[in-house]
Amino acid sequence: MPFQIGQRVTGHITGIQPYGAFVSLGGHRQGLIHISECHCGYVQDIHDYLKVNQEVNVVILDIDEFTGKISLSLRCLEHVAYSPEPLEHQHRHYWTNHRINNGFQPIADRLEGWKSEALQRLDQEKASS
């Protein structure tokens, strides 16, 4: 089953760390509920809210396109009834484009111009002092 941001899914807690809980979503897919997403408000100890083997209903907050890591939230459902339909969401803006692999080339192309501009400003500051 393909996952979508905003989708509500059911999973089982497979492990708990001080920073969050790992959730099996079926098959070989796993997500993480960060401690800040397990309850509204401050969470002193995640074990107060979650236990290993507990079944949880969660919302998919984010899916990393490159690694496939899934970020989950319980907090989003604290005041919303469970429904398997995805929630409305806006498309996230990414500063990089995985289809274009030009690495640092744009920076390298502009580097000489930036250096000369910086040297000109330094010369102007020296002349005005």
- For residue 32, is it within any domain? yes
Q: Does 54 fall in a domain?
A: yes
CATH number at residue 31: 2.40.50.140
Q: What is the pTM of this model?
A: 0.60
C-alpha closest to that of 49 among 62, 61, 36: 36
Look at residue 51 and tell me whether its pLDDT is greater than 70. yes
**pLDDT at residue 82 tops 50:** no
Domain count for the chain, please give it: 1
Please report whether residue 113 resides in a domain: no
Give the domain range for residue 39: 8-77
Tens-place pLDDT, residues 60-77 = 999 988 788 899 999 888
Average pLDDT over residues 86-111: 63
pLDDT of residue 1: 61
pLDDT of residue 83: 47
> Is residue 18 situated within a structural domain?
yes
Q: Is residue 40 part of a domain?
A: yes
The answer to whether residue 85 scores a pLDDT higher than 90 is no
